[in-house]
Amino acid sequence: MSCVLGIETTCDETACAVVEDGRWVRSNVVRTQIDLHEKYGGVVPEIAARAHIEWLNDIISEAMARAGVSASDLTGIGVAHCPGLVGCLLIGVSAAKALAYAWDKPLVGVNHVHAHLYAGALVPAEKAADIMARSLEQPPLPALGLVISGGHTTLFEVENFNALHRLGATIDDAVGEAFDKVAAILQLGYPGGPLVEKLSRHGHANAVKFPLSLLGKESLDFSFSGLKTAVLYHVNGRRGTQRTSADLSEQQRADTAAAFERTVVEILEIKVRRAMAMRRYGSLIVGGGVSANQAVRSMLQRVAQEAGMALILPAMEYCTDNAAMIAGLAAELFKQGQTADLDLSVIATA
């Protein structure tokens, strides 16, 4: 049996988790810094890094206590070392190195974006008894991977979890970032994704037509900044007008949210279908905060079913940033013989 401690400090969540055999989540502690950054309208790297320093020791202790494990039970430590805010990454990586050294445990660096794709394998340990097979069934490979988060929108060819090749990515805003910006335009609050989703349930997606930005005919890259600007002009009017979302009726606001969400779903569907037409994949693996969106999930289910492919989606609690996905992928990397030395470095972009 393996028992891996995962540490996640790439951005504005301080998180630690313990995962057994790469699958069973014994504990998953996530402390968000939303309150600290709200008044600045975005994450302030310096404030985020300081909060990680202050909180991380407690979060690690809490994750170990909730999992009921001590250092001697751990088989290794995994830490998100890329991509992210450098000052934030350094806190998690320094803590992981110190623990690996003090406890004499193997260490491995995990790519946060790749870990989002591993999230679909995770199951809370208390549900393990309900699931007959306690071994981790690998999704049929190669898989098509799609990460849709606040920082990334990327399509991958997944040969295995140690070999992911990027097929395309956003050239401007990430899809979650577009949800957050549209939420700001509609004055809904932060993080915007769940709030836009909630509002769009009362709206008519056909009431407004926003442009579909698809880039080249074959392109697997994404662009969401034009869509965000189209929503801005629709709500606030062109430059020079004084309108805000407060001048729209409740129905008009809901229609705007629904039309935006529908446009995002259409763009994602077209790109996934394009990638599927280029190579035969055994499964479709999706992760990241936006994979919590029901309209996105339904579209993916339909597309995968039509193609006869398995669809691997994370349980809701593992869609947004967490350390269980870091521990899970770390367990997989350990299994493949990967470890890092104590000079493991952080990488801002990867």
Give residues in contact with ligand KG4 (CB under 6 A).
149-151, 176-177, 179-180, 191-194, 197, 288-290, 292-293, 320-321
Which CB atom, from 87 or from 193, has the smaller least distance to ligand KG4?
193
Which CB atom, from 27 or from 170, has the smaller least distance to ligand KG4?
170
> Considering the complex, what minimum distance in angstroms separates the CB of residue 328 from ligand KG4?
15
Strands 153-160 and 143-148: antiparallel
Tokens of 7: 């540490």
Q: How distant is the alpha carbon of residue 150 from its chain centre?
A: 7
Question: Which residues make up the interface to Zn ion (CB under 5 A)?
Answer: 149, 321
Which CB atom, from 321 or from 332, has the smaller least distance to Zn ion?
321
Q: Can you list the alpha helix ranges (DSSP code H) found in 172-323? A: 175-185, 192-200, 225-236, 250-278, 294-307
Residue 8's binding partner among Zn ion, ligand KG4, none (Cβ under 5 to 8 angstroms by kind) is: none
> Considering the complex, what minimum distance in angstroms separates the CB of residue 325 from ligand KG4?
9
The torsion angles phi and psi of 195, rounded to 5 degrees, stand at -75, -40
> Considering the complex, what minimum distance in angstroms separates the CB of residue 287 from Zn ion?
8
Residue 192's binding partner among Zn ion, ligand KG4, none (Cβ under 5 to 8 angstroms by kind) is: ligand KG4
**3-class SS of residue 206:** helix
Number of helices (H), then strands (E), in the chain: 10, 11
For 190-204, b/e burial (b = at least 16 CB within 10 A) is ebbbbbbbebbeebe
Which CB atom, from 145 or from 151, has the smaller least distance to ligand KG4?
151
> Considering the complex, what minimum distance in angstroms separates the CB of residue 292 from ligand KG4?
4
> Considering the complex, what minimum distance in angstroms separates the CB of residue 193 from ligand KG4?
2
* Measured distance CA(163)–CA(157) in Å, rounded: 8
DSSP 181-195: HHHHHTT--SSHHHH
Which CB atom, from 192 or from 203, has the smaller least distance to Zn ion?
192
> Considering the complex, what minimum distance in angstroms separates the CB of residue 121 from ligand KG4?
16
Tokens of 45: 């790297």
> Considering the complex, what minimum distance in angstroms separates the CB of residue 341 from ligand KG4?
27
Residue 291's binding partner among Zn ion, ligand KG4, none (Cβ under 5 to 8 angstroms by kind) is: none
From the list 118, 225, 119, the residue with the least C-alpha distance to 171 is 225
Does the bond joining 45 to the residue before it have cis omega, within 30 degrees of 0?
no
Which CB atom, from 105 or from 181, has the smaller least distance to ligand KG4?
181
Residue 197's binding partner among Zn ion, ligand KG4, none (Cβ under 5 to 8 angstroms by kind) is: ligand KG4
Tokens of 314: 């994370």
Which CB atom, from 177 or from 332, has the smaller least distance to ligand KG4?
177
Residue 28's binding partner among ligand KG4, Zn ion, none (Cβ under 5 to 8 angstroms by kind) is: none
